[in-house]
C-alpha cells in the first residue's frame, strides 16, 4: 500500500478531527497524565497492542504518571493518513 505524505492543507483538516493532538514538525503529539504510574504503564500496553495491529508504532516517553506519544510516518518523512487513523484509535482507548 502506497503511503503518501499529506499536504499542509490536509494536515490542518485532519488535525481538526483530533483536537487533543498538536503538530510538532513532521509529527503529531499528545500527552496524557494519569493518577498513578501503573495506570500510565497500562495505557502504554494498550497503545502497544493497537500499534502492533496497525503495524504503525508511535514514539513514546513515560515519566512517572505522564505519557507522551508522537506519530509520524518515518518512511515518507512526514504525516500520512496512518498517523491520524492511529491517533483516533488511541483516543478511543
For residue 39, is it within any domain? yes
For residue 23, is it within any domain? yes
What confidence tier does 3 reach under pLDDT thresholds 50, 70, 90?
A: confident
What values do phi and psi take at 19, rounded to 5? Answer: -65, -15
pTM recorded for the entire structure: 0.94
Q: Looking at residue 27, which CATH number applies to its domain? A: 3.30.1360.20
For residue 4, is it within any domain? no
User: Residue 60: beta bridge partners?
Assistant: 69
For residue 40, is it within any domain? yes
For residue 26, is it within any domain? yes
Range of the domain at 65: 10-91
For residue 5, is it within any domain? no
Count structural domains, the chain: 1
pLDDT in tens, 68-92: 999 999 999 999 999 999 999 999 9
User: Residue 69: beta bridge partners?
Assistant: 30, 60
Measure Cα distances from 67 to 13, 16, 31, 59, 82 in Å. 25, 22, 6, 11, 21
Amino acid at each position: 500500500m502506497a503511503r503518501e505524505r499529506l499536504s499542509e492543507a490536509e494536515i490542518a483538516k485532519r488535525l481538526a478531527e483530533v483536537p487533543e493532538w498538536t503538530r510538532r514538525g513532521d509529527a503529531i503529539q499528545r500527552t496524557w497524565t494519569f493518577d498513578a504510574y501503573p495506570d500510565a504503564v497500562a495505557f502504554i500496553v494498550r497503545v502497544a497492542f493497537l500499534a502492533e495491529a496497525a503495524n504503525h508504532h508511535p514514539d513514546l516517553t513515560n515519566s512517572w504518571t505522564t505519557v507522551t506519544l508522537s506519530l509520524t510516518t518515518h518512511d515518507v518523512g512526514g504525516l500520512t493518513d496512518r498517523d491520524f487513523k492511529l491517533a483516533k484509535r488511541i483516543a478511543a482507548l
